[in-house]
Chains A and B, each alone.
Chain A
Amino acid sequence: MLFVNKNLKLLSFLAFLLVVAAFAMVLFYAPIELNMGIVQKVFYFHVSAAWIGMLAFLVAAVCGILYLNKKQLKYDFIAFSAVEIGLLFTAIANFSGMIWAKPIWNTWWTWDPRLTTMTIMAFTYIGYLLLRRGVDNPEKRARFGSVYAIIGFASVPLTFFSSRLLRTIHPTIFGADTGDMAMIPAMYQTMAVSIVAFTVLFAALLWHRSLLAARESELEILRAQTEVLEFGEVLDD
């Protein structure tokens, strides 16, 4: 089982319940939007996933700063886990957005500023995961990862503000002068529950993944020690 302590078990169960509740609200509580029809209901989880993706990259950048200050590997484990989960949620936002776009924009993909900046952000963090693998020393890897996560975070505000500052066909829901999509209270409530559900889910996944990352690191050290012992025995023979 993945559950190693009671609080993590509770958090995971709460995340599951909230996601089920949010999905029930999407199905039965949120009304069908008049212009776009039922496909607009993809919006609730699409936006929540995009927000959590950005939050995850913020967590990675903060943990990067904390690692550089305190030199404790636990911050590197959390940063790495946050990037991995951030990419998961960014992929969810991208793919669900493509499926929403097809019947509404009549295309799966367009090089719109929001979609382009989101792709740049995703590739920035895919680069983080790939390059990290190339560093064997855990401390060097953590230092490299921290610096990368801090610099890579520049792609997050670029993505967030792209639909607010540049000419785009992507709708802006929050923080715009004029709403691009007419929303009634039931829609905002469903949106809020979805964001809370995804935030709790993110916290639970981050906890699980960080514990596994710590164990991976312990095993890496243990494996290296075993190899040294075996090499020593071969030399003695």
Chain B
Amino acid sequence: MTNLSYFIAGYLVIFGLLGGYVLHLLTLKKRLDREQKELSRQN
């Protein structure tokens, strides 16, 4: 049975979602660092 494209698509989705979540965490970390700097400057 030739369903290689579905296999590739399946793992692209899996690693895409995992990678996307790690990127979300990195972006959140950067935003929190920036906000913390701004707030400590204001105080």
* Interface 1/0 per residue, A200-237 and B, CB below 8 Å: 01000100110010011001001101100100000000
CB <8 Å contact, B1 and A95: no
CB distance from B38 to the nearest CB of A (A): 9
* Chain B, residue nearest A19 (CB): B18
CB <8 Å contact, B39 and A226: yes
Question: A154 interface residue, CB < 8 Å from B?
Answer: no
- Beyond A37-B1, A223-B39, whether A103 also contacts B13 by CB under 8 A is no
CB <8 Å contact, A219 and B6: no
CB <8 Å contact, B2 and A37: yes
CB <8 Å contact, B17 and A95: yes
Instruction: Kindly state the interface size class of chain A when it binds its partner.
Output: 35 or more
Cα(A20)–Cα(B26), bound, Å: 21
The secondary-structure label for the interface of chain A is: helix
CB <8 Å contact, B13 and A92: yes
CB <8 Å contact, A37 and B3: yes
Of the candidates B3, B4, B11, which one forms a contact with A45 in the assembled complex, judged by CB atoms under 8 Å apart? B11
Chain B residue numbers with a CB within 8 Å of A229 are: 43
CB distance from A190 to the nearest CB of B (A): 14
- Beyond A103-B6, A226-B39, whether A2 also contacts B17 by CB under 8 A is no
- Beyond A92-B17, A212-B28, whether A226 also contacts B10 by CB under 8 A is no
Chain B residue numbers with a CB within 8 Å of A45 are: 10-11, 14
* Chain A, residue nearest B28 (CB): A212
Question: A156 interface residue, CB < 8 Å from B?
Answer: no
Known: A99-B13, A205-B25, A222-B43; 20 extra A-B contacts, CB below 8 A, are: A35-B1, A37-B1, A37-B3, A38-B1, A38-B3, A38-B4, A39-B1, A41-B7, A45-B10, A45-B14, A46-B10, A88-B18, A88-B21, A92-B13, A95-B13, A100-B10, A205-B21, A212-B25, A219-B32, A226-B42
List residues of chain B with CB under 8 Å of any chain A CB.
Answer: 1-4, 6-7, 9-11, 13-14, 17-18, 21, 25-26, 28-29, 32, 35-36, 39, 42-43
